[in-house]
Amino acid sequence: MNRLVMPEDTNTFGTLMGGVLMHWMDMCAAISARRHSNSYAMTVTVDRIRFISPVRLGEVVNIESEVTRTFRSSMEVGLRVIAENLKTGEKRLCTSTYFSFVAVDSEGHSLTVPEIVPETERQKQRYRDAEMRRAARLEDARKVQKESELTDQDDVAN
């Protein structure tokens, strides 16, 4: 996916706002998830995003996304964001991360998704590493659930 950074996309420093970029990333990842699953795909998690390099007004943002692994109804989508200065031809990495999606039907019920068969060495490595990333996401979800339950108990006690 390519986008030209326009004035309405920038902050007072003339650089792309992070929230705008995250929206574009979510759209690009959702397209990959939907194509792979041939169903609706809902964003479940976004891994940490670290902005490495700012994107300036007038530059082109190229967002690459790829389904790196599937589980029963969920998919991990890897993203890479490259900024391109059209005047100089310079290209630079801005960020990379992973989004997780779940495939759902029109009523929001989860669906089984097709498996991924990695072919290149890079795809195979990302496929193997996805299991560790998934375990970390599930652990984070358990912690959030536990904290939520404690907060709910405090609310009831007060």
Phi/psi at 117 (nearest 5 deg)? -115, 100
Q: 29: part of which helix (H) or strand (E)?
A: helix 18-37
Of the candidates 92, 111, 134, the one whose C-alpha atom is nearest the C-alpha of residue 39 is 111
Residue appearing with tokens 């659930």: 145
Q: Are strands 74-84 and 2-4 parallel, antiparallel or unpaired?
A: unpaired
Q: What is the pLDDT of residues 125-145, one digit of tens each?
A: 999 999 999 999 999 889 988
pTM score of the predicted model: 0.87
pLDDT of 153 higher than 80: no
Give all domains of the chain, ordered by start, each with its CATH number. Answer: 2-157 (3.10.129.10)
Per-residue pLDDT tens digits for 32-66: 999 999 999 999 999 999 999 999 999 999 999 99
d(CA 7, CA 41): 30
Mean pLDDT of 85-108: 96
Beta bridge partners of 145: none
